Each structure stands twice: as structure tokens, then as C-alpha cells.
Structure 1
């Protein structure tokens, strides 16, 4: 029979698992290691204005996730005001409204922004194509001469913008530039000149992030578009091209940052703090909210109680892989196929030393009582039921005694799977009668060794982090286990049969 379908299934599982894992890491920046830290900025915007004594409406631009940054959470504090979040032409805005307000008013908006170097840009759409700009005399002549001078020394939209800005710098200002600056502000003037030259450009507002700064204001930047629709930011004061790493674009649609109706003397100031937090918690909210597609399926969308449950369940395939490796490749015998995995799960709750002592005590006492039950000639179901009740009684007695002696660690023995322990005792007792104590020690020791190795693998912080945050790992484990199931060679412990051959 052809093995091609089998290998195709294994390859499909590997490709799907690796693709899902890489997608989660690259798209959502989920870290590979549990201790990785990410920088988070906490920014507070304070809006102040004086209300006229009637209805008031405040409209303020809000930051969006953008290249280098991702918005995590946002909150407002505006007692008595109604609040609505708007999306206008690709830009996010908040609108506060109130029926009656008078005197000094203060509104607060706070946002947590994650520094995400791999975040994809989400810029607002480009502005409409420039139309003819009308100037009054004598500014029309000065504007035309400034544009002609910069145009002759440029090769594209970016070099033209850089040359135009440099002509308005303090060192290189000519008469035409000084004349235009007497009538217009620098940034709107530069945008107007760029539009007259047929180049799409607009003014955007950004916040320079510096730790511990208070009462900061936004700075104006010029966004210039080329013929392909790509854009570059320019510093209108220096002509420097490119976006600084610590620049957060607050308003990127060319609109006013703050608009107040029913008030006067409005202004907005910003305070900011930087701190580090674990990367996993920094992206947890986004993973929980993004459930739109199968690729973005995430355990983080479940309630916390179910998340804690799945964090343990997703470790079971790791323990199963350890069992498959030891049984298929090494040849270790265990009492029950996957009983060591369940014991390893109990070790996670009890700690390794406490779990080993508790397991040995329960099994040892259980074997003594089971040996007595064998003389009663009971039916199998009744005998196993009696063993279950016995195991429960043993665990109860050990828990009470450990509490009486102040050994609180002994209380965790209740995490052992009682049904599995009962069947283990029953199986070992039968094995003792049929094969002798040596085989019991071999299988019991193999079970404990497998359980300890499975515990060490499942309790590793790195493995716990990967299995919980990258569900594609489960597909990879499935592919590896299928490949191991196809192994038909010698086990390591079987090779000792050939020792006499080597001696000869």
C-alpha cells in the first residue's frame, strides 16, 4: 500500500502548524519566550476650555495603531458629558457633548500604546489631487519664484519638498520667502506651495514621546506623497526626511486636532510615562478581541477560568509525546499507556517531591489492601470499586495526618486522579500475581520515570508559553507523533540482546 497519503498528511500538518505559529508571531508580535519585555507608553491628553454657558461640543483627534505603535487600551474622564467615538475619512475622533456648561471645563483622555516595530502602517488615505491655488498680489509672484527655484534643483516630489523647506530655513531665507512668511504660517504655507506645484501634501500632527514629560503640545509635520501613493514625513523646521522612532502620529488626516463649539480659549496638553511590561500581557487584549478569522483564532478570547483550564489541557500533547518517545524509541515499559501523563499533571499541582512521596505511599498501601481483597474472590467490578473507595480513604487519611503535623504540602495529594490510581493498583496487583515482583518494579519504575520526564517537559515555562500562545504547535506535535508511530525499528533497550554478538 502506498505511503504517499500518509506523508502528505504529515507534511500538511507541519506546514499548517508552522504557518499558524509564524503568523501569530509576526502579525500579533507574540514573543517566543515568556520573559520578554515590551515598552508601553501611557499618554494622557487634557483638554481645557471655557464654556459660554450653553450647549458645548468638543471634537478631538485620537491616535490609531500605526507603523511602530499599536493602541492597547484607552479611557476617558468627562463627568456629565456624553461621549461618542467617530471614524471620519480613516481618522479616529472623540466627540464630547453636554447640554449646559459654563466656566472652566476639563476633559481627560488616556491611552496605552505598545511600541511594536513590526506593526503595519495604517495611514489615512492620501488627500485629493491639488487644485489651482489662488494668491493675492504680490504673493503670487513670490510663490511662483520660490517654486521655480526649488523645482529646478529637484528630481522628484521628495527632493522638491526637501529643497523647498530648506529655502525657508533661517540660514537660506530669501526675500520671497520672508515676504510669504509675513502673511502665512510656515507649515500651511509649505503645504500650499507643494499643492501649487502639483504635489499631494498635508499637515499632520504628532507627539514626540519622552519619558516623564508633562504639558507637552503636538508638533506639526508635512506628509508628502509621490506618484505611486507612498508618503514620507518631513520636519518643516529643518527639512529632515523620515519619521523619528519616538514620533506618535496623533492626527494623520490633515484635519484640526481639537474643535470646540460653545466655548473659547481651548487647548490640549499631553503628559506621558514609559514603562516595560511582559510582552505576553501587552498583546493579550488584542489577541482576545481579534476573532474575525480562523487564522486569528485564540484561546485568549475565552473567559479567564477557561483560559486557565486550557493552559493545562494544551500541555497534555507534550506529555503524550514524551510517552511515545520513551515507549517507541527507548522501549520503557509503563503500567498503562498514558497513565504517566496524568500522574505528571498531578505533579504539576503538587510539586515533584511531594507528588512522588504521595504516589508511592498511596500505591504501596493500596497494594497491601488489594492483596487482602484478592482472598475474598470478588468479581472484577466489585473489586475495582473497593479499590477506588480504598484509595479515597488513603488519600483522606494522609491529607488529615499531614495537616495535623503541619505539612501543608501533603494536602495537595488530593490532586491525584483517584480512578487512575485505583486501576494502577489493580493492574500492578494482577501483574504481581502473574509475573512476580520484578515485573511490577520494572513497569512501576518505568511509569514513574516517564511521569517525571513528562512533568519536567510540561512544567517548563518556555513550553507552557509556546503551547498556550501558539496553537499551531499542536499540529506540529501531531505530525511528529504520526511520524514516530510509523517507526518499526529496534528500541534502544532491545539492543542489549546483541551484546553477546559484540563480545564474540
Structure 2
């Protein structure tokens, strides 16, 4: 008989190391056990991509500074082989990379950390000099004057004038606005018209801060000087923008990105939120240099956002093991409910359940027809996969046509898993009947819902992402559950007659 001592030693070691790493990270580096206890820090990473031509390269990127609601506590770059400097110019701060010679695809990273601080204030610098009207050619000038005349009649001051101008540009029937936006962006067009009215205005670039977002683009907005303050206007609504978690990245109207010696340049942003201790916020020290503080935070923000979801999968696996081993719940596949739950996180729960039922139900009907053709397994599975793609496409288009925006998120479902689910359920239907399909399908859906509720819990998301040692503890628990050979809760019904006897 094999000794179980090594197994229990392994489980004990995993628990001790996992808890030890987590306690060390909490005690030494001040990472909170629960979300919301500490100061919130937004980490924003700019990813600059361009194609170098083999010549000297100079890249200049606008960077934010301390502003209303945010204090800049740290900034750095990750671009080996490039010289780097932060330069203060008349139009704000800029990050500059330089290299004597570069060729091929180039990727540069710039990351900063903005501390949420209600006491932080941006210097209210008034504009310098008089307004210089922006020159517009014949038809453009005529269109701008017409738009300005109409907006002036419906406004009382510079603020309401700006609002009315933006409303006209959002009116799809305005031919004058359409003519201007063919030649320039909406933001530039609004600034150009305001300059004709001697109003100081500039284009501002903003980022909507949302945890876990990747490859985000700058949102263009317009700022005007009302005589005392700069007012920010949303180009979609025309109203003053007081949106929470709105970070002004490029406020002074200068180009966001300038590249010399390269082509096809673009910049995108990845965003992630963290909670840190007051001491960390003061000392500008979030990332650790010790191996014992092993953390995902050392990765680029885009990868961190991806891992924020990946690190939740072990929680889903633990729930599946609990339900199958202790409860005895039947599911279609072992970890298919976990993948469906990950899709629910993207689609939201109710649209996700409705989409899952529609796809699987329709797929089962089509699969029943395919079974009569006596196809080989590989061909049958391939046909089901294509069918699932077509079903998703049809449902998405129908949802869009009838105005159900939530239905567009159905594309997040993993197609291969859905195909195998349809195939597996159809086989069970043929071999064991529809009752077993309902049992296993219902068990899978119930498990997916429970996993979804765990994955969307703020405490679970916080502790799995910030304490990687917790993963070792989860692994130890799963190993222990795998050693369980007792009765399941669902078996109590089977043995109920023995109790009566």
C-alpha cells in the first residue's frame, strides 16, 4: 500500500508557502486583505507602436501631470535600447525616446501611476495672448459662419455657445457640420469655430478609467476658457463633463504622439486599478524588488488586465470540484461551466444565460439532423462549430436590429466549448434520454452561475490578483478534495429507505 505521508506533506507545504507569501506581502508591503481599505491608484500604460526606417528615431508622447482629483506619484518606461527623458515644454510635459538607428517594428511602453486624491488640484493657468482665428477656406468658412450664427442665437454665453455648437455637429442632418467633419475632426472643427468668436479653446485628450481595460484610445474633448476657469465639454453629449474617473492625458491641445524616423505610429492605453497603503502612496513604492514579493504587477498593464481574469479560474475550478465531489452535481464536462462563467463575466449574467440557452438549444436541433447523416466524428464536430458561429452571427444581428445592445456581447462565448457541449448533449440525448440532458445541462448552468457570482465578487477578485500565494492554498484544497471517497450529498436520497428500515 502506497504511503500517503508524501501527499500530506505536499499539501501542508503548499498551504504554508501560500499563506506565508500572502502574509509577507501584506505585512511588509502593505497590500490590504480587502478591496477599498486603502488609497486607490490607477496604473495607466501607454503602448507606442511604429515602423522604424533605419534612421535616427525620436518619439515624443504627451504625458499627464497632477490634476483635479489625481496626484501623479510615479512614472517610468520600459523600452530597452532607447534613451529616455521627461521634458517640460511650454505646452506641458512630454516623454521623449531617442535612438541613433532603428529598423523594423518598434514598441515602447510608458507607465504612470495616478493616486486618487480629492485634494489634488490642477494649476488654473489662463490662456496667453489673444485668440488667433483659424483660417478656413471658402466653403468651410461659409459652413462655419452658418453654424456659428445659429448657435449664437440659441446661447447666452461662451459655455452655452459651445454646447449648441456640439449639438449641431451631433445632428446627422446638418450639412454644414458634415462638410466640416469631412476635412477635420469634430473637436478641431468646434475649436476652429470658437476661434472665429474670439473664444480661447483647445482640444483635450481624456481617458475613461475603468479597471482591466486594454487597448483603449484617447477620447477627444474640447476645453474653453470662460474667463476664470477651463471648462471641459463632452463631444458626444455637448454638456460639461464631470464624469468620475476621467483622466486628462493631453490637456494643452498639443499632438498626442510625434514620431520622427518612423511611420504607421499609433498609441493605445491599458488601465488597471490597485489599492495601496498610505505609506506606499507617500513613498511612491508599489512594486517590490524581492523574490518573496513575486507579483503580477511587474508585468505590462495590458498583461495585468488579462491576468486579472485568468487568476479567477482556480476559484471556478474549486467550486466545480466542491459541487461534483461533495454535492454530486452532474455537469456536462468537467470545467466547461468555468469557461461559460468567464463568458458570463463579459456578457453579464442574464444576457449570458439567455444567449447560452438559445445557442445550445438551436444547436441541439441542428445536431439532431446531422446525426441522421452518419458523418465521421471530426466532420460532425467541424460542422457543429461552423453552425455555432452562424447561430451567434444571426442572433447578434437580430439583437442589434431590434435594439438589444446586450445581445451583442454573445460573441464572447467560447465557440469550441459550445460546440463540444452541443455534441456531448446530443449523444447523451440519444443514449440516455432527454431527462439526463436536462440534469447535466441544468447542473452545468447552475455551476456556471455560482462560479460567475464568485468571480464578480470584489473580495475574490482583489485577493486572487494581489496575493498569488492564495493560488497555492486553492491547489492544496483541491488536492485534498481529490482524496475524498465518502458519500455525496446527492446520494442521501438514494439511501433514505435504509434509514426508514
| Matches for 1:354-433 after TM superposition, within 5 Å | 354-433=351-430
- What is aligned with 2:275? 279
Q: Residues 401 and 9 of structure 1: is their aligned pair in 2 closer, same or farther, counting only changes over 3 Å?
A: same
CA–CA distance in structure 1, aligned partners of residues 446 and 22 of structure 2 = 31
CA–CA distance in structure 2, aligned partners of residues 449 and 352 of structure 1 = 12
| Matches for 1:185-204 after TM superposition, within 5 Å | none
- What is aligned with 2:170? none
**For 2:495, which of 468, 491, 498 is the aligned residue?**
498
Q: Residues 328 and 397 of structure 1: is their aligned pair in 2 closer, same or farther, counting only changes over 3 Å?
A: same
On the 8 A contact 1:329/1:490 being kept in 2, the answer is: yes
On the 8 A contact 2:297/2:304 being kept in 1, the answer is: yes
- What is aligned with 2:486? 489
On the 8 A contact 2:25/2:31 being kept in 1, the answer is: yes
- What is aligned with 1:124? none
On the 8 A contact 1:288/1:299 being kept in 2, the answer is: no
| Matches for 1:67-216 after TM superposition, within 5 Å | 72-73=73-74
| Matches for 1:314-333 after TM superposition, within 5 Å | 314-333=311-330
Which protein shows a greater Rg? 1
Q: Residues 400 and 486 of structure 1: is their aligned pair in 2 closer, same or farther, counting only changes over 3 Å?
A: same
Superposition deviation, residue 21 in structure 1 = 0.4
- What is aligned with 2:4? 3
CA–CA distance in structure 1, aligned partners of residues 445 and 416 of structure 2 = 17
On the 8 A contact 1:35/1:278 being kept in 2, the answer is: no
Q: Structure 1: give runs of 5+ residues left out of the alignment.
A: 41-70, 81-110, 116-276
CA–CA distance in structure 1, aligned partners of residues 437 and 4 of structure 2 = 39
Aligned residues: 282
Superposition deviation, residue 377 in structure 1 = 0.8
Q: Residues 278 and 320 of structure 1: is their aligned pair in 2 closer, same or farther, counting only changes over 3 Å?
A: closer
CA–CA distance in structure 1, aligned partners of residues 89 and 448 of structure 2 = 58
CA–CA distance in structure 1, aligned partners of residues 115 and 497 of structure 2 = 69
Q: Structure 2: give runs of 5+ residues left out of the alignment.
A: 42-71, 77-85, 91-112, 118-272
On the 8 A contact 1:335/1:427 being kept in 2, the answer is: yes
Stretches of 4+ aligned residues off by more than 3 angstroms = 37-40, 71-80, 111-115, 277-289
- What is aligned with 2:32? 31
- What is aligned with 1:199? none
On the 8 A contact 2:316/2:338 being kept in 1, the answer is: yes
On the 8 A contact 2:347/2:409 being kept in 1, the answer is: yes
Superposition deviation, residue 286 in structure 1 = 6.0
- What is aligned with 1:18? 19
Q: Residues 497 and 370 of structure 1: is their aligned pair in 2 closer, same or farther, counting only changes over 3 Å?
A: same
CA–CA distance in structure 1, aligned partners of residues 40 and 414 of structure 2 = 43
Superposition deviation, residue 459 in structure 1 = 1.1
Q: TM-score, normalised by structure 1?
A: 0.53
On the 8 A contact 1:36/1:278 being kept in 2, the answer is: no
Superposition deviation, residue 114 in structure 1 = 12
SS in 2 for 1:398: helix
**For 1:466, which of 463, 467, 484 is the aligned residue?**
463
Superposition deviation, residue 458 in structure 1 = 1.2
Q: Residues 305 and 441 of structure 1: is their aligned pair in 2 closer, same or farther, counting only changes over 3 Å?
A: same
CA–CA distance in structure 1, aligned partners of residues 40 and 380 of structure 2 = 61
